[in-house]
Amino acid sequence: MDMDLAPEHLTFVEEVRDFLAEMPADLAEGARNAHYFDHEQTMEWHRILYDRGWIAPNWPVEYGGTGWDVTRRFLFAEELAKANAPELSPFGLVMVGPLLIEFGSDEQKERFLPKILSGDEVWCQGYSEPNAGSDLAALQLRADKQGKDYILNGQKTWTTYAQNADWIFVLARTSREGRKQEGISFLLADLRNTEGIEVKPFLTTGGTTAFSETWFKNARVPQHNRVGPENGGWSMAKALLGHERTAIGGISESQGWLHHIKRIALNTPLGTGTLLDDPSFRRRIAALEMRLRAVSMVQKRSLAAAQLGRAPGPESSILKIVGTETYQEITELAMDALGHDALGWKDTPSEVLPEHAKWIASRFNYLRACTIYGGSNEIQKNVIAKQILALPS
């Protein structure tokens, strides 16, 4: 594989870097110090990218995409990560948006896609339940027909940032006949204006209200908000999870974190030099950089296949496993680089803990879950065994 960039791609990188250099002052300050960005700041960045026409690089041009090739899309994500730009919510742009483009009706595309692009409507995902996480097909949220509506009763959990969302896409059980995967439908529900839906945020070990419980009590959802055929939601869910797992791998984010770690090590005295001069520490950085380079090549192949119209296959599971495990190792290395300062927290006074180090412990804790969400890594190994090794179910 030729890893040299073409002249037009080098020009594109410079264009992106010039754009990022003009980031608003409040966002630029947070980016420099690897801060956590709140919902308002994230949506501010969303609108900036939307105004530039760069909000949905992976969408077809006719629906608001950029028309970039795979290389430009990869380089754009890489530059965003290097700059520590706010991470946009994936639920509209990366998940339900592409799903609607592929499976939605013309009316659904016209209704939802423009507001996903503009950020006027924020989405969350309703998949996991208290007893249906890794075994998603065991979900129990009921959707019973009544007139032109479905009546939803049940619970979802780990609903990421549902308290900030306007809409939720859910998998619900519309039939109990046949295999459990066959009785599931894909529904879109209005969180703000539907009676009977209640969102209850809870704290993570990272100290953020990232997750919520979402309760449905006789919540009425129009049948025209079903995407695809009734009882046909499982196939769509698998396609959507393939895109999610590729994104969860966090390759570009890991590269940004390695850059941040080097900054910390360069400013950490050790003997007559700095931590970055320590051979054992440099070996750990080098090992992670080599692994990231290998994984990024797999990611590029996956993106290239997607550009040719092929949905993510087992490679999305490979990227999810290796990417998330590497991401965790990198945040562990960041904690090691901080030494006793790793005990600090995001509200630690600046005179005690530098601004660029305040969110590392929080992120380290939060990312303990990345090998679980999006389908646990253990389940992904089963997927690989079935699809690549052709082992029986």
pLDDT for res 1: 44
d(CA 85, CA 27): 8
* Catalytic site residue from 244, 253, 329, 355: 244
Average pLDDT, the chain: 89
**Domain holding 194: CATH number?**
2.40.110.10
Q: Is residue 341 over pLDDT 50?
A: yes
Do residues 373 and 254 both lie within one domain?
yes
Question: Domain total for the chain?
Answer: 3
In a domain, 379, yes or no: yes
Note whether 60 and 157 are same-domain residues: no
Q: Quick check: 305 pLDDT over 80?
A: no
Of all residues in the chain, what percent carry a pLDDT higher than 90? 57
Active-site residue, 253 included: no
Mean pLDDT across the stretch 8-18? 96
Give tens-digit pLDDT for 191-240. Answer: 999 999 999 999 888 888 889 999 999 999 999 999 999 999 988 887 77
Confirm if 314 and 388 have CB atoms less than 8 A apart. yes
In a domain, 71, yes or no: yes
Give pairs for 140-143: CB < 8 Å, separation 24+: 140/173, 141/170, 141/171, 141/172, 141/173, 141/216, 142/172, 142/173, 143/172, 143/173, 143/174, 143/185, 143/187, 143/221
pLDDT at 20: 97
In which domain, by residue range, is 38 found?
7-88
What's the mean pLDDT in 252-267? 86
Question: What pLDDT, on the 0 to 100 scale, is given for residue 47?
Answer: 98
Average confidence (pLDDT) over 299-313: 66
- More confidently predicted of 1 and 277: 277
Asked whether residue 4 carries a pLDDT value surpassing 80, the answer given is no
Mean pLDDT for 171-192 is 93
Res 393: pLDDT: 56
Higher pLDDT, 128 or 314: 128
Average pLDDT of the segment spanning 336-347: 88
Same domain flag for 128 and 222: yes
279 domain residue, yes or no:
yes
Contact 375, 134 (CB under 8 A): yes
Same domain? 193 vs 290: no
Any idea of the CA torsion for 191, 106, 128, 391, to the nearest 10 degrees?
A: 180
C-beta contacts of 191-195 below 8 A and 24+ residues apart: 191/124, 191/162, 191/165, 191/166, 191/167, 192/166, 194/219, 194/220, 194/221, 195/219, 195/220
Q: Is the pLDDT of residue 165 over 60?
A: yes
Same domain, 324 and 203: no
Q: What share of the chain is helix, strand, coil (3-state, %, to 5)?
A: 55, 15, 30
Same domain, 63 and 142: no
Q: Specify if 351 maps to a domain.
A: yes
Q: What is the mean pLDDT of residues 59-76?
A: 91
The answer to whether residues 63 and 140 belong to one domain is: no
Inside any domain, residue 322: yes
Same domain, 183 and 286: no
- pLDDT tens per residue, range 21-64: 999 999 999 888 877 899 999 999 999 999 999 999 989 999 99
What CATH number did the domain enclosing 255 receive?
1.20.140.10
Domain boundary among 231, 265, 294: 231
pLDDT band at 383 (very low <50, low <70, confident <90, very high): confident
* Sequence-distant (≥ 6) Cβ neighbours of residue 33 within 8 angstroms: 354, 355, 356, 358, 359
- One-letter amino acid for residue 370 of the chain: C
Domain end, chosen from 174, 197, 231, is at 231
97 found inside a domain:
no
pLDDT at 243 (0 to 100): 59
Quickly state the pLDDT bin for 170 (edges 50, 70, 90). very high
- What pLDDT band is residue 303 in, cutting at 50, 70 and 90? low
Q: Are residues 190 and 254 in the same domain?
A: no
Nearest to 330 by CA among 239, 265, 380: 265
Place 256 in a pLDDT band, splitting at 50, 70 and 90. confident
213 and 255 assigned to the same domain: no
Give me the mean pLDDT over the 91-104 stretch: 94
Residue among 151, 131, 147 at smallest CA distance from 139: 131
- Residue 99 resides in a domain: no
Is 294 contained in some domain? yes
pLDDT at residue 307 tops 70: no
- What pLDDT does residue 387 have? 81
Same domain, 157 and 67: no
pLDDT at 236: 84
pTM for this prediction: 0.86
Last residue within a domain, chosen from 66, 88, 110: 88
Q: Are 176 and 204 in the same domain?
A: yes
Q: What is residue 247's predicted lDDT score, i.e. its pLDDT? A: 60
**pLDDT exceeds 70 at position 312:** no
